[in-house]
Every structure is written in structure tokens, then in C-alpha cells.
Structure 1
Amino acid sequence: MTTTLEQPAQTTSQEPAWLAERRASGLEQFKNLPMPTAKDEKWRFASVGRLSIDNYNPAEAPGIDKLSVLDKRSSLVSERAGRSVYVDDTQAAFEGISEELAAKGVIYLPIDEAVEKHPGLMEKYFLKESTELGSKKFFGLHAASTRAGAILYVPKGVTIEAPFVNYYWTSGDRSAVFPHTLIVAEDNAYVSVVDVFFSEGDQNEALNVAVANIHAGAGANVFRKVVQDWNDKTVSFQLDTTVAERDAQVKNVAVNIGAERARYEAQTRIEGPGADVKMYSLTVAEENQEFDQRTYQIHNAPNAVSDLLYKNALLDSSRTIFSGLIKVAEGAQQTDAYQTNRNLLLDPSADANSMPGLEILANDVKCSHGATSGNVDEEELFYMMSRGIPKRAAMQLMVFGFFEEVIEKVASDELAENLRALIHKKFDAKLSQPT
């Protein structure tokens, strides 16, 4: 089978010239940029020799029955302000906003409708923020191909307590999907979003190239949560960018469980003083999974804060890579920026690589970075075993204690319990095996 990814995306309506230009530019970028190699510093430690996107094709629309079934399975969050479900880039459901929110100027629409009804907004923000962390080739493919996704716009001063929830599923074999989430929160707006990535079953092979962009205006508060539980036959790219203006507060919490190979690029740009950006991630790796995490905290304004905590737990011969850079511009005095990567190795063959870094051009800052990798604490393990707790059960307790610091950040009892259930499902089989 030959790939058709280099063909222009099929669109459902006549797109405006600006979007056609961005798609064409993305396609050329995808065609002309080389595949990553082991010599590329932005792909250091990654198993680039195993990276292939050959023989994937744009996903075909599934049948109505499958759309209905997966719509019903999209139930991680019950209370919501809006909800979308996509299966193989085909819309299965889109629950719009209430009349009250619409009257306040809130926009929550699929990509094609947003382009048609709000062209000015989309031209300003859609496909404008790319990645600087190594996957520009794949961003180009996304720009050329994306047609599934949710666009959320919250006007000045509007507060929305319930989250918007977007589900992205794969079901076809050797299918490529290109989910896109765009969040624009104007000054002093408040909103939260949950993006969920699932596979229908254990066998369908898939390529995911997803993009999420957050634009937080002055004083805005944006909370985004990501749940990624692809099957172990999926290759995944998640390319995220955040722009935070004066006094904006942005929090990202990502839980990564699935995929054969998953690369997560998170780029944060602070453009206004007083901004506060928090980034949390939890990754669970087993067997031969590889999770490649690249982050970039860019401080272009003074008196701002960014704080990153990424935790990885590794079983079997799994691998994780963390590469993070904090960059403080010359005028960004009194910056507070932190970056921490912690790895818990549960098997001697597991491999965790960490490369935190700083680039500071200002002289009045507080910046730190650190990385730790270690095994289960033998003293704590012995203590629990001496109280009659079996070794595997004791290990499990310690692992979930390690996770809890991140899980509690989701600030939703329902979602936190569902996340624990997903993680238990993955770990129970391993940790319940006899020693």
C-alpha cells in the first residue's frame, strides 16, 4: 500500500484563499523538510530509525453505527458546557453551547463551520502557531490535512464553569487522523477544555498528528486537560502551543498512557508581565513504548511565572525522553521559571533520558531545572511488606502515590477517578504478576 498523505486534503466546502494558502504551504513544508535523523539535536535519544509514516492514508469515514457506538463511549466527563466527538476525523456528535452562552458571544464550532461563519477570527488564529521543537514537517502535514476539531472562542469577561470536552477516536486500519483544538480566551475570560484521544480497539494501526493552540488574553484563565490512551499500534504526535498575555493564568495537565510511539511538544510563550503558566504531565510506559517529550518555556516579558512538572513511570523495556528549555529574554527581569522531570524506573531494562536546560539573558531572575531517575524506594517497600502488604501490592501503592501529585491537578473528582481507572487498567496486569 502506498501513502496518499502527500495529496491535498479533501474539504467539505469551498475554503477561503487564506486557508487554501496555509494548507498549500503546509503541504510543501511536509514534502520538502527531511525526516528526522539521529544527528538532529531536537531528536536526540529518540528512536528515529523506527519512525515511519509510510503506508498510512487519510482516514475514511466510518459507518453510522460505529459513530453512534463511539459517541456513547465518550463519557469521561458528564457535566460540560459543550462536547464534540470525532471518529477517524468524521464528526460523530457536536453538542453546541447554550443560548445563554451564545448570547454572550461564545463560539464553539467545528472547523469548517467556524471558517464559514467567523472568517476573521479563524484567519487571525487558525494554523498560525507552529512548533519550534523539531516537528515542523509533521505540523505541515497537519496544516494540509486537518479537518476535524473544535474551535472555542470566549469573549472578554465571560466565565464558563463547566468544561468543553472533545473526543478524538481512531478505528480504521492504517488511518491517519489530524485533530485540532483551538482555544481563544479574550481578556479576563475563564474557560476549561478536556481533550481525549482514544482508539476503538487494540488492533487498528493509526497515525495521529494533533495540534492544540491556546491564546490567553490579559487576565484570562484557561485550564486544558489532555487524556491520551491510544492503543499500542498507534504512532502519535501532539504539537501544542500556548501564548499568555499580561496577568493570564494558564494550566495544562496531560496524562499520557497509550501509543507505540508518542511525541509530545509543548511550547509556551509568555508575552505579558504577571502571566502564570503551569504545565503538568504524567506518563505511564510499558513493554516497548517510547514517549518523547519536548518542552520550551519562553519568557519575553518581566515579572512572570512558569512552572513545569513531568512525571514518568516506566515498566519493562519502555523508554522516555524529556528535553526541556527555559529561555528568558533580555528584558524579562524578575522571571520565576521552574522545570522538573522525575522518572520512576520499575524494571532494570527501562530507560529514562532527561535533558533540562536554561538560556537566560536577564540578570534578575529565579530559574531552576532538575531531573531525577530512580527505582522504587527499598526502605519504603520493606516497611509496607513488614506490615503484611504483599510486595507487588506495595509497589502498586507507591506507584500511584507517585502519580497522585499530577492527577489531583485536574481539579475534578469525576475525571480524576476515571484517570485512576485508566492507569489501573494498564498497571494492574503488570504489577499483579507473581514475583
Structure 2
Amino acid sequence: MSVATTTSDTEKFSEENFRHHLDAFWLNVPWVQELKQQNWKTYQELPLPTRSDERYRFSDLRKLKLDGYRPAQEPTEAQKADAIARSNLVGEPAGKVVFGDNFLLEFEGLSEELKAKGVIWMPLQQAAIEHPELVQKYFLEEENQLGSEKLLALHNAFFHGGSFLYVPKGVEIEQPIAAYYWSIECGEAIFPHTLLVVEDNAKVDFVDYYGSLDTGCCSTLSCGVGTIYAGQGAQVFRKIVQNFNEEALSFQLEANIADRDSQVKTIAVNLGSKYARLQNHTRIVGPGADVKMYGLTVSKDEQEFDQRTLQIHEAPHAVSDLLFKNALLDSSRTIFSGLIKVAKDAQQTDAYQTNRNLLLSKTAEANSLPGLEIEANDVKCSHGATTGQVDESELFYLMARGIPRQTAYQLLVFGFFEEIVEKISNEELRENVRKLVQAKFGNEM
């Protein structure tokens, strides 16, 4: 897509740019065109959130500005090569896709064995054309209850880069599949989209990475969507690593749907962006489902991480467990607002929600708002939040054994996160996440 940037109209999401987007990418896909037109209208009609919206309580809405961003242009050949070379979080994946400013840069398909079993893995745009009935069945079916309706409409209007994975019944994919979404040019907007459909008794391990090619002071916008549909007895493990530069504006809107006896596990690693909002809307629709949600956030300088979660139990005898850990440096801020909702018929629900904050600066600020809304009378549910500093007694214990204070301090901070990092089953990915977390701290400790 080549959009001129010489007039003010091209520096925003305008009618002209929207029409250009439709003609450039979706001219021959009527059902997508119709969906996008509906969402473009919705985006124009909806206002941005205000301070009176409880779903944005504690958020600094001054950072939520969409003016000045424009639809992305195709990267240069040098930028493409750089992005592909840096897309190495996981070695030897079962499949891989790399996007740069919404444009497909590299695609590695699946083995012939997996293709023969009916697994579909391809860029979302291609899937919408080649498998319209399958994609339409699952695409954007989940409602948004966490406050980002306008942003979701913007995403739906302008997305074209994304990945689609369909795993048929009983198929297990042993090696992880990886998708990389790079933000490249300053002032441009990207719209990552991951759609995972995992049928009954199937299994998959998936990794999404969001990063900036320019790690300097380059303001960009990312508005991403990720959805998991886990069928009966399915096993889905998804890792999300957000590592944009510290001038980016990032929104990640997640939805998980877990059917009978399924196991869904997600880990979100949040490191980048000036303001990042992560929403996770989970629905448990089948009895016996087990959903685990983990979050790891490191904030520094004046970064703000806004985390909003909703765990909805619609079926009985199911489990959900959420643990979000945040470490805060300098004058950074985190917000955690989570709600567990248990329907009247969801008896014997077992649900937990925990937010733990480690303050590494006197000027850092952590806000926690966990909550419960329970209609059933035979459940085991709890929520909690803790905020504290490095334990001086633990620090003294390590120093008394000859460990220098700075090293002991680092060990305790990294140990705070290890409870989550160690849950990553892939050894190479686990070690790379450790390196990213350590790099984020840099010389701060």
C-alpha cells in the first residue's frame, strides 16, 4: 500500500485512506469488505473513552491519542531483511510468519505430514479468500466488554496482516508455531491479528511477538487482536511477547473461548510501549475446562501498563487461574482491573485471580482492582493483590553468604518473575524471554 504523506488528511484514519485500504487489499473479498465498512462506521460514531468510564479507572487518557497516525506503507527491502533476520525468538518452529508494518515479509508453511492431516496455517488474508466459510465462522465473533469498542472497530476496519491456524480434531503439533509483527516506520499504525481454531482433542503451542525495528524515539500505534477457540479436550498454549519501543502506543485485545475439558494456557510478557493496554476476555463454555492466564510486566521511566481481564464461567466444574506480576521502576505505572463472573448454573467453579506488584522505586505507582461477581452458590473463588518492595531480610540472607548487594538484588527481582517464566515449556523461548527481561532492566539495578 502506498499512501502519500504530504497532506494532513493522510496523517490520520480518513475516509480516503479507508477506501484506499479496501481497494488495495480486499477488493475481491465481499464479506470482508462488508465487515470493514460496518466497523469503519462504528469507529467514526463511537467516542474515545472518558474519565467517567469505570473501565478506564486510573488510566491516563492523555496518552490515548489516535491523531497523527496513518495507515502503514510497505517497508523497504533493507527493512524487510532486518525484520526477518530478527525474527528468531524460536528456532526450528513448525511454522512461521513475519509481518512488517502489516505487510507479509516471510512465510514458512507446515510439513507435508501436518498438511495431510488437515492443518491449515496461512496469512489471515489468504485464509479469508481460500477458506471463507471456516474463517467467517470464528472471525470476530466475540463481544468486547472491557472498554475498547472504538479501538476494536478501528482494528476491524484496517487490518490486513495477520495469521490463521486451524488444527483439526485429534491432531497434535509438537513444535511451536511463531508469528512476528514488526512496527517499522514512525507515525504508522499496525493491526496484528492472530486467530487460532483448535478442534476437539487437538494440541498446539503458539508464540506471538510484537516489536519495533526502530528502538529509539519513534511513535507508532499497534492495535492487535488475538483469539483462541479451544474445542473439547483441546490443549492450547499461547505466549505473547510485547516489546515495542518506549514511544509506541499499544493495544492488545485478547479473547479465549474454552470448551469442555479443554486446557488453555496463555503467558503475556509486557515490556515495551509508552502506554500499553492489554485486555483479556475469557469465556469458559464447557464443563471441566481448565484455563491458566499469566502475565509478566516490567515498567520503567514513565511507562504505563493497563491490564484489564474478565473471566466468565458459564459452565460447571471448570477452573480458571490468573496470575499477573508487575515490577515497576522510576515513575512508571501499572493498572490491574480484573473480574471473575460466575453464572448461576456454573456450580463447583474453581476460580482464582492474583495480582502481585514489586515496587523498585519510591515514585512508581501500582493500582489493583480485583473483583468477583458470583451467582452460583457452590463455588470456590478468590482474588487478591499485593504491592511491596524487595524483602530486606531476603537481601540480607544472600549478602551474608558473600553475594554482592547489587547481584543479590537482581537475583531477587528476577526470581520474582521466575514463577511465570519457568512455565514456558520450550527451553529456547524460555531463555530468550529471560534475556529480554534482563535487557529491559539494563543498568537500572
Please report the TM-score for the alignment, with normalisation by the length of structure 2. 0.95
> How far apart are 1:97 and its partner, in Å?
1.1
Q: 2:169 aligns with which of 151, 156, 165?
A: 156
Secondary structure, aligned partner of 2:228: strand
The equivalent residue for 2:77 is: 64
Is the contact between residue 251 and residue 279 of structure 1 (CA under 8 Å) also seen in structure 2?
yes
Q: 1:263 aligns with which of 274, 277, 294?
A: 277
The answer as to 2:425 corresponding to 1:411 is yes
The equivalent residue for 1:239 is: 253
Secondary structure, aligned partner of 2:186: coil
The answer as to 2:56 corresponding to 1:43 is yes
> How far apart are 1:111 and its partner, in Å?
1.6
Q: 1:214 aligns with which of 228, 231, 245?
A: 228
Is the contact between residue 37 and residue 49 of structure 1 (CA under 8 Å) also seen in structure 2?
no
Q: Amino acid of the residue matched to residue 240 of structure 2?
A: V
Q: 1:363 aligns with which of 377, 397, 400?
A: 377
Matches within 5 A, 1:155-234: 155-203=168-216, 204-234=218-248
CA deviation vs aligned residue, 1:47-68 (integer Å, no higher than 9, x gap): 0122211100011101122112
The answer as to 2:316 corresponding to 1:302 is yes
Alpha-carbon distance between aligned partners in 1 of 2:78 and 2:139, rounded to the nearest angstrom: 32
CA deviation vs aligned residue, 1:47-101 (integer Å, no higher than 9, x gap): 0122211100011101122112210111010021100000111111011111111
> How far apart are 1:378 and its partner, in Å?
1.1
Q: 2:268 aligns with which of 238, 254, 259?
A: 254
Q: Amino acid of the residue matched to residue 228 of structure 2?
A: I
> How far apart are 1:391 and its partner, in Å?
2.3
Is the contact between residue 359 and residue 389 of structure 2 (CA under 8 Å) also seen in structure 1?
yes
Matches within 5 A, 1:1-40: 1-2=8-9, 3-7=11-15, 8=18, 9-10=21-22, 11-40=24-53
In structure 1, the gaps of 5 or more residues are none
Is the contact between residue 258 and residue 264 of structure 2 (CA under 8 Å) also seen in structure 1?
yes
Alpha-carbon distance between aligned partners in 2 of 1:15 and 1:390, rounded to the nearest angstrom: 64
Secondary structure, aligned partner of 2:429: helix
The equivalent residue for 1:390 is: 404
> How far apart are 1:389 and its partner, in Å?
2.5
Alpha-carbon distance between aligned partners in 2 of 1:382 and 1:32, rounded to the nearest angstrom: 58
Matches within 5 A, 1:57-206: 57-203=70-216, 204-206=218-220
**Backbone CA RMSD of aligned residues:** 1.1
Q: 2:289 aligns with which of 266, 272, 275?
A: 275
What is the aligned residue count? 431
Q: Amino acid of the residue matched to residue 39 of structure 1?
A: S
> How far apart are 1:350 and its partner, in Å?
0.5
Alpha-carbon distance between aligned partners in 2 of 1:338 and 1:301, rounded to the nearest angstrom: 16
In structure 2, the gaps of 5 or more residues are 1-7
Q: Amino acid of the residue matched to residue 217 of structure 1?
A: G
The equivalent residue for 2:414 is: 400
Identity %: 54
Alpha-carbon distance between aligned partners in 2 of 1:361 and 1:16, rounded to the nearest angstrom: 44
Alpha-carbon distance between aligned partners in 1 of 2:302 and 2:161, rounded to the nearest angstrom: 30
CA deviation vs aligned residue, 1:245-273 (integer Å, no higher than 9, x gap): 11111000111111111000000000000
> How far apart are 1:15 and its partner, in Å?
4.0
> How far apart are 1:6 and its partner, in Å?
3.7
CA deviation vs aligned residue, 1:335-372 (integer Å, no higher than 9, x gap): 00000000000011010000000000000000000000
Runs of 4+ in 1 over 4 A off after TM superposition: none
Is the contact between residue 248 and residue 276 of structure 1 (CA under 8 Å) also seen in structure 2?
yes
Is the contact between residue 22 and residue 127 of structure 1 (CA under 8 Å) also seen in structure 2?
no
